[in-house]
A and B are shown apart, each in its own frame.
Chain A
Amino acid sequence: MAQKTFFIRSEFCSGCGICQLACSLVKEKEANPAKSRIVIKRQILDGLMVPHICVNCKQPPCADACRRKAIIKDTETGWVVIDREKCNNCTLCFAACPFSAIVITPEVQVLLCDVCGGNPKCVEMCPTGAIQFADRAQGIAGPTDMAAVDIWK
């Protein structure tokens, strides 16, 4: 089975945060980007907008760091999932993630993207194609070029 994951093209990110608002409404039932599983790091003066989301590493450092084995790499789908029963919000995974893709809420709860079961809302909502969800083996050269057609000449 083809394994799908996220591809980020931060040069297309306008920093709007539609993805964050959508994610918090889907997952937390409230409008709160601070509890979104996707984070946009905004360097305002540089105009640099960088989305951070779990890219489902082949060998996830977060899973290695977790002492309670609460983070598991699903071998079939390839998705990295968190077992909320086992997690005690120690945040070791947060420290281990090289992509700043794990979110700690103001109440110190660990949040990890669950790809919305295979149809990520953030990807659906992104107006510029800066986040894509595609077959890991195939990459996104085609779809991203298409998505960017209307943005840059």
Chain B
Amino acid sequence: MERLAIIDLSSEQVECKDIPENVQRMYLGGEGLNAYLLYNHLSPGVDPLSPENVLIFGAGLISGCDVSSSRFEVTSKSAEGEGGFGTSNSGGFWSAELKYAGFQHLLIKGKASRPTYLWIHDGEIEFRDASFLWGHDTYESLELILDDLGDQNVQVAMIGQAGENLVRFANIMHGLKRAAGRTGMGCIMGSKLLKAIVVRGKQGLKVNDPEKLLDIFTSHRSQIMSTKIYPVISRYGTLTIFCVQNQSGMISVKNNQFNYFEEAEGRLDDEIFEEQYKTKSLACYACPLRCSHRYRIRSGPYAGVWGEGPEFYMMAGFGPAVGNADWDCILAANTLINRYGLDVGSTSGYIAWLMELWQRGIIDDKDTGGLNLDWGNKETILTLIHQMAKNEGLGGMIGQKASRAAVVIGKDSARYLYTQRGMMHESPENTRASRATTLAAATSSRGSDHLKGRCALEFYAMPPEVLAKIYGKPIASDFRSWEGKAWMAVWTQHFTTVVDSLGYCKFATIWPGSTHNLNYKQFCETIKAVKGWDVTPEELMETGERIWNLERMFIERETGILREGDIPPSVYFTPQPLEPLKGEKIDRAEYEKRLDEYYEIRGWTREGAPTAGTLKRLKLDGEPSHLL
């Protein structure tokens, strides 16, 4: 039986509850059950940083049982996104370990009286003093925790100085690079004086049909390893996306002013990283993809700097988005950001924004405290990261204010700040030419979310019959066409929500670009073997829709921002300046029309709220009487 622990940091009390099977079946685990717990346990209208806010950790329903399924979701009222739906997902070992320790979900409320970390092992939860960790970065904290507990096998989710200093886009780090990054979950953790959650489980999971699960496990592994994307992902990880995306003219260069970065040619390629920096490939739990890399900078001003990562979003955010084509600087920034526990998307996005303000003369060296914000100024990039994490100077102001910084700076600065629902538009994403991706990212719950929105299969010009087979409806092959794209967006959002609720990694699914990867059919097999439920792809799709609608209800309750929050940043409505996609833009009237179509498919009103009929169909209409 999956269990929930309600942990009150104020009184240091813990209450454990079994999660009823009907609730599990309706919301699975991970993101789905997190959304359900958040909706039910959070009083409407509380300040995100107050002790009344709740922070929920959720392992996936089948985490620890299948390949590539060890992902956990952290959910709370958003610290960065104007009090909306805050959620973020991370891989690694933590999720499986939490399940082996006897819990699927942790709901943390209140505020500790002193810096605290939680030590969770085999069904027991201890509150431990974290004063000796406070002020240390995540690498140091990890080492100190391993020493403190005398166990090298524990898994740690923690915050760095950024979370302690309540930076609005601080993230929760796991290990050296894995992060629940968006919506400032680390900021919420810091506001509760919770430094880390350490788990170790030896209880194991009794599954419904172990023989069957072993067969499924074996076949899913072979399936993932037989795709054409596997050799690429297992060598380069997500870095492989960069060259393709850059040469397609879909990258944000200098805060979305351009869409192709010529300087990066031959300098930021994934092969160069592989040859000159990478020292080892590492994997998340039970995952054959091993898309994480260790690296060391061998020479130059940052010689000796080592770390883990980086992903495509990191290198494109600290590369083209800030006008930098130097791998050394990107990697130095990556190590710094992981140590401090900052979100790469927002950090690089705000730095790019400041640099554009500098370029346009909206801020000068009096505003920046003497920093020179020329594009690609490496020292400035690193200094701003230090400032954000430590809450000093210009960077500190940005870190504390996030999108409200435009009010502080004033003048014309808001015009160049591309946010959505208060979330910084993920800096490298410049996909205005691809319609489904634009629509799905813009309508996502946390705002500007490529992990829910990237309809990757849109980019490959697949034959219509293949697309129809996957999506069940006709979809145009051309990414610039709107035909069928509203449905593609809806389908992708449901799919990614189910994946995040089950705990699978999206890279093991058909999401990133191989139609031969795991799909609903494989999820059903695993659920059958683990839980014994006879679920169908249709039921899972409806589950995804239910979770999506619940998140929408939360957004409606907390912020009231519906349709006006579903519009992509203003820059999407201006033409791309450079080839090969020169002139491509989203037409505003066309977008509104497609948004209507999207709402209609969803069964939402023209304002973007779920109708009573839709809620009834999804069994979301009753009082939450099955409240945990």
Q: Would you call A14 and B210 a contact (CB within 8 A)?
A: no
Taking the nearest CB of chain A, how far is it from the CB of B289, in angstroms?
Answer: 8
Q: Which residues of A contact B410 (CB under 8 A)?
A: none
Beyond A44-B175, A47-B294, A125-B218, is A16–B285 a contact (Cβ under 8 Å)?
A: yes
Contact of A31 among B213, B235, B282, B283 (CB under 8 A): B213
Residue of B nearest to A151 (CB): B281
Interface size of A by Cβ–Cβ distance < 8 Å?
A: 34
Q: Which residues of B contact A42 (CB under 8 A)?
A: 152-153
Q: Which residues of B contact A34 (CB under 8 A)?
A: 100, 201-204
Q: Which residues of B contact A33 (CB under 8 A)?
A: 100
Q: Would you call A26 and B214 a contact (CB within 8 A)?
A: yes
Q: Would you call A17 and B204 a contact (CB within 8 A)?
A: no
Residues in A1-42 with C-beta less than 8 Å from chain B: 14-18, 21-22, 24-26, 28-35, 41-42
Contact of B279 among A24, A47, A125, A127 (CB under 8 A): A47
Q: Which residues of A contact B214 (CB under 8 A)?
A: 22, 25-26
Q: Which residues of B contact A47 (CB under 8 A)?
A: 279-280, 282, 294, 308
Residues in B204-259 with C-beta less than 8 Å from chain A: 204-207, 210-211, 213-214, 217-218, 221, 225, 231, 234-235
Q: Does A144 contact B (CB under 8 A)?
A: no
Q: Does B374 contact A (CB under 8 A)?
A: no
Taking the nearest CB of chain B, how far is it from the CB of A92, in angstroms?
Answer: 22
Compute how far the CA of A29 lies from the CA of B308 in the bound complex, rounded to whole angstroms: 35
Q: Which residues of A contact B49 (CB under 8 A)?
A: none
Taking the nearest CB of chain A, how far is it from the CB of B284, in angstroms?
Answer: 7
Q: Which residues of A contact B225 (CB under 8 A)?
A: 127
Compute how far the CA of A21 lies from the CA of B62 in the bound complex, rounded to whole angstroms: 13
Q: Does A75 contact B (CB under 8 A)?
A: no
Q: Would you call A30 and B210 a contact (CB within 8 A)?
A: yes
Q: Would you call A31 and B205 a contact (CB within 8 A)?
A: yes
Residue of B nearest to A124 (CB): B218
Residue of B nearest to A20 (CB): B286
Compute how far the CA of A80 lies from the CA of B217 in the bound complex, rounded to whole angstroms: 28
One digit per residue, 1 when the CB lies within 8 angstroms of any chain B CB and 0 when it does not, for chain A 44-78 equals: 11010100000000000000000000000000000
Taking the nearest CB of chain A, how far is it from the CB of B227, in angstroms?
Answer: 13
Q: Would you call B286 and A17 a contact (CB within 8 A)?
A: yes
Compute how far the CA of A153 lies from the CA of B273 in the bound complex, rounded to whole angstroms: 13
Beyond A125-B218, A127-B290, is A30–B281 a contact (Cβ under 8 Å)?
A: no
Chain B interface bracket (under 10, 10 to 19, 20 to 34, 35 or more): 35 or more
Q: Does A85 contact B (CB under 8 A)?
A: no
Q: Which residues of A contact B135 (CB under 8 A)?
A: none
One digit per residue, 1 when the CB lies within 8 angstroms of any chain B CB and 0 when it does not, for chain A 120-132 equals: 0000110110000
Residues in B265-297 with C-beta less than 8 Å from chain A: 274-275, 279-288, 290, 294
Beyond A22-B214, A44-B176, A47-B294, is A32–B281 a contact (Cβ under 8 Å)?
A: no
Q: Would you call A32 and B203 a contact (CB within 8 A)?
A: yes
Residues in B332-373 with C-beta less than 8 Å from chain A: none
Q: Would you call A30 and B152 a contact (CB within 8 A)?
A: no
Beyond A33-B100, A45-B139, A45-B143, is A16–B283 a contact (Cβ under 8 Å)?
A: yes
Q: Does B186 contact A (CB under 8 A)?
A: no
One digit per residue, 1 when the CB lies within 8 angstroms of any chain A CB and 0 when it does not, for chain B 92-136 equals: 010000001000000000000000000000100000000000000
Q: Which residues of A contact B217 (CB under 8 A)?
A: 21-22, 25
Q: Would you call B221 and A32 a contact (CB within 8 A)?
A: no
Compute how far the CA of A42 lies from the CA of B287 in the bound complex, rounded to whole angstroms: 15
Beyond A14-B283, A16-B285, A47-B308, is A32–B204 a contact (Cβ under 8 Å)?
A: yes
Q: Does B567 contact A (CB under 8 A)?
A: no
Q: Which residues of A contact B204 (CB under 8 A)?
A: 24, 28, 30-32, 34-35
Q: Does B595 contact A (CB under 8 A)?
A: no
Compute how far the CA of A111 lies from the CA of B612 in the bound complex, rounded to whole angstroms: 58
Q: Does A142 contact B (CB under 8 A)?
A: no
Q: Which residues of B contact A21 (CB under 8 A)?
A: 64-65, 217, 286
Inter-chain pairs besides A17-B286, A32-B204, A151-B235, 9 sampled, C-beta below 8 Å: A15-B283, A16-B288, A25-B214, A25-B217, A30-B204, A32-B203, A34-B204, A124-B218, A128-B290
25 A/B residue pairs, CB under 8 Å, sorted by A = A16-B284, A17-B285, A18-B286, A21-B217, A21-B286, A30-B206, A30-B210, A32-B100, A32-B203, A32-B205, A35-B204, A44-B142, A44-B152, A47-B279, A106-B122, A106-B202, A106-B203, A125-B221, A127-B221, A127-B290, A128-B281, A150-B234, A150-B235, A151-B235, A153-B274
The interface of chain A, by Cβ under 8 A from chain B, is 14-18, 21-22, 24-26, 28-35, 41-45, 47, 49, 105-106, 124-125, 127-128, 150-151, 153
- Rank and list the top 4 A-B pairs by shortest CB-CB distance, nearest first: A32-B204, A16-B283, A127-B288, A34-B202
